[in-house]
């Protein structure tokens, strides 16, 4: 079964019944009831009325779900109801376990350009290799059908990418008593085998902030906010909680000298495994120099 997920979709529209996917999931904080009543009884389009993060949490509980196509073209960042970009590291890392290894992404880089994050979004640098697909490629899917905003009538509206997962794990020669590794991929893919997940939840600069991203993550029992914490503090907290496998995501602005120095001589009480996870290729450069 193939599934398309459209985050911050806006209203249901009958054209979504014709998309070349078996199942189409629309997620929005609010659907207009008058538009939903047009939905045919055997509709393949499912609506989840929730914030995107909350909807992903719901979807992750479903056995065997895999998203083959992820769509986000305009989440109303300029006063249209959106208070954070869907293509944010925290959201992409969180959704990663339910994305297919070979994934199609439909977006509009120009829209994100106006939000000053166009270049970052265009890199699609979140643990996948990416390739842009043009309209003459059979894998292309027309982004214009996903929006009623902006210049969607322009022939060059939107962008389509094909992504392939690039997850890789390497051992780090840092400490003989703790198995230390680095993974290019999301920490959320190992949620089941970790005892504690250290996530850098810094203060967000989304002023409208109706939805508290930090609160969402802090409510997840295994999550520990490592923002502004030293490696000594993090290790002490982990030991206090008898953590055996600790996962950490980037938090030191690319300077991990102190982290390496501490780990080299660290004698653990409970800790057996330490894994660093990163999405962007350039994160944790200092660790890769050890490999």
Ligand X SMILES: C[S@@+](CC[C@H](N)C(=O)[O-])C[C@H]1O[C@@H](n2cnc3c(N)ncnc32)[C@H](O)[C@@H]1O
- The contact set with ligand X (CB under 6 A) reads 8-10, 27-30, 51-52, 73-76, 80-82, 147-149
Least Cβ distance, residue 189 to ligand X (angstroms): 22
Rounded Cα–Cα distance for residues 161 and 69 (Å): 10
Least Cβ distance, residue 166 to ligand X (angstroms): 27
Coil, strand or helix at 233: helix
Least Cβ distance, residue 38 to ligand X (angstroms): 16
- What DSSP designation does 204 have? P
Based on CB atoms, which residue is closest to ligand X, 82 or 268? 82
Based on CB atoms, which residue is closest to ligand X, 77 or 174? 77
Q: Can you list the alpha helix ranges (DSSP code H) found in 10-117?
A: 33-36, 52-60, 89-95, 109-114
Based on CB atoms, which residue is closest to ligand X, 29 or 278? 29
- Could you count the other beta carbons within 10 Å of the beta carbon of residue 287? 19
- Could you count the other beta carbons within 10 Å of the beta carbon of residue 61? 7
Nearest to 45 by CA among 73, 7, 5, 72: 5
Based on CB atoms, which residue is closest to ligand X, 152 or 244? 152
Least Cβ distance, residue 96 to ligand X (angstroms): 17
Residues 6 or more apart whose Cβ sits within 8 Å of residue 243: 195, 196, 270, 271
Rounded Cα–Cα distance for residues 161 and 141 (Å): 10
Q: Extract long-range pairs of 236-242: CB within 8 Å, 24+ residues apart.
A: 237/196, 238/195, 238/196, 238/270, 238/271, 239/268, 239/269, 239/270, 239/271, 241/195, 241/196, 242/195, 242/270
Coil, strand or helix at 277: strand
Based on CB atoms, which residue is closest to ligand X, 53 or 172? 53
Q: How many alpha carbons lie under 13 Å from residue 132 in its C-beta half-sphere?
A: 11
Least Cβ distance, residue 167 to ligand X (angstroms): 26
Based on CB atoms, which residue is closest to ligand X, 121 or 172? 121
Based on CB atoms, which residue is closest to ligand X, 107 or 180? 107
Least Cβ distance, residue 209 to ligand X (angstroms): 11
Least Cβ distance, residue 138 to ligand X (angstroms): 25
């Amino acid at each position: 079964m193939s599934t398309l997920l459209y985050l911050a979709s806006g209203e249901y529209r009958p054209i979504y019944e014709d998309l070349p996917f078996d199942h189409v999931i629309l997620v929005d904080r609010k659907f207009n009831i008058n538009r939903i009543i047009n939905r045919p009884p055997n509709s393949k389009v499912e609506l989840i009325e929730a914030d995107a993060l909350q909807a992903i949490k719901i979807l992750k509980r479903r056995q065997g779900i895999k998203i083959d196509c992820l769509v986000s073209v305009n989440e109303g960042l300029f006063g249209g109801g959106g208070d954070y970009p869907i293509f944010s590291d925290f959201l992409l890392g969180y959704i990663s376990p339910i994305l297919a290894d070979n994934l199609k992404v439909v977006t509009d880089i120009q829209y994100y350009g106006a939000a000053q994050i166009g270049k970052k979004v265009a890199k699609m640098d979140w643990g996948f290799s990416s390739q842009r697909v043009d309209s003459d490629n059979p894998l292309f899917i027309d982004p214009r059908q996903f929006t009623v905003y902006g210049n969607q009538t322009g022939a060059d509206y939107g962008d389509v990418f094909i992504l392939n997962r690039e997850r890789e794990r390497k051992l780090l020669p840092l400490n003989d008593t703790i198995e230390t590794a680095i993974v290019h991929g999301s920490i959320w893919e190992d949620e089941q085998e970790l005892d504690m997940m250290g996530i850098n939840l810094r203060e967000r600069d989304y002023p409208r902030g109706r939805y508290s991203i930090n609160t969402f993550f802090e409510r997840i029992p295994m999550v520990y906010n490592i923002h502004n914490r030293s490696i000594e503090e993090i290790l002490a907290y982990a030991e206090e909680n008898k953590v055996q496998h600790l996962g950490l995501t980037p938090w030191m602005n690319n300077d991990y000298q102190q982290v390496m120095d501490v780990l080299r001589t660290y004698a653990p009480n409970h800790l057996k495994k330490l894994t660093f996870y990163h999405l962007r290729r350039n994160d944790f450069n200092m660790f890769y120099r050890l490999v």
